[in-house]
Amino acid sequence: MFKTRLISGIICLVIAVAAMLAGGPILFAFVCLISFIGQFELYRAHHLERTLAAYAGYAGTALLALAMWLQIRDGVLMAAAFAALMIMAVYVFTFPKFKAEQIFFILGGFLYVPVLMSFIYQVRLLPDGLYVIPMIFICAWGNDTCAYCVGVLIGKHKMFPVLSPKKSVEGFVGGIAGAVILGVIYGILFGAHLTSLAAPVPACGIIGGVGALIAVAGDLAASAVKRDTGIKDYGRLIPGHGGILDRFDSILFTAPIVYILAVLLSSAQ
């Protein structure tokens, strides 16, 4: 099991890094693909993946992708608004086929997966985006790795015993500290290419720390949905890991926060 998980994890990392480096149509296609799959997995958790309301959610994702590709100003906002209108229209015109909580789960799923995932592509479009985008993975997977190592070594105090029994307070602190250190090291190594940031080294440290904190929330949010719906994994697409959401749950939260912080810490501010 460990060998399978390790191999599939390495393959996922290679694919993600290759798409990230390539940028353009390749990264766009990659983000669209994992957005659609992740959205489908989330809807499936509530047995809604092949309903008319879900198709309205998928249509919203398609509009979001079109807005991103054409780089329409406020395109994400317009796509989100249109998706909400379509989903609510399905609710009204098929009433009482869907419960209110199902409709809002469909709408929330659109915001949670495709909209947040779109920030991977939007980070790449930033000035120095090629060098900013690795911070998404440093925040998410760097934090996860450091938290795991510290937790295994000295973890004693359970942080969320009901929601995530394996997470410890020590691992939580170690994960954030590790992400800050990794961010600073990244800033030292690649600061010369991060000219859009006012002070690359401290900026990368800040992004690493804040991003790691948000990554924990992303991981726990995905776990909470699984607990509520009674599923172990979102899918079996990635051997040893589960589905797209099982592997990219924290990325969903770190991508937008890296984008926001990169803009706020920009030298142009």
Q: Give the 3-state secondary structure of residue 168.
A: strand
First to last CA, the chain: 48
CA atoms within 13 A on the CB side of 154: 10
Residue boundaries of the structural domains of the chain: 1-125, 129-269
Q: ∠ at Cα 225 (96, 150), nearest 5°?
A: 170
| Beta pairing partners, 164 | 160
The predicted pLDDT at position 241 comes to: 74
**pTM for this entry:** 0.91
DSSP state of 199: S
What letter does residue 193 receive in the DSSP assignment?
G
pLDDT of residue 267: 66
**83 and 109 Cβ atoms separated by less than 8 Å:** no
**Average pLDDT per run of 10 along the chain, which is 269 residues long?**
69 86 93 96 94 97 95 89 96 96 96 95 94 92 84 79 80 90 94 91 94 91 87 82 86 95 81
Which tokens go with 181? 């250190």
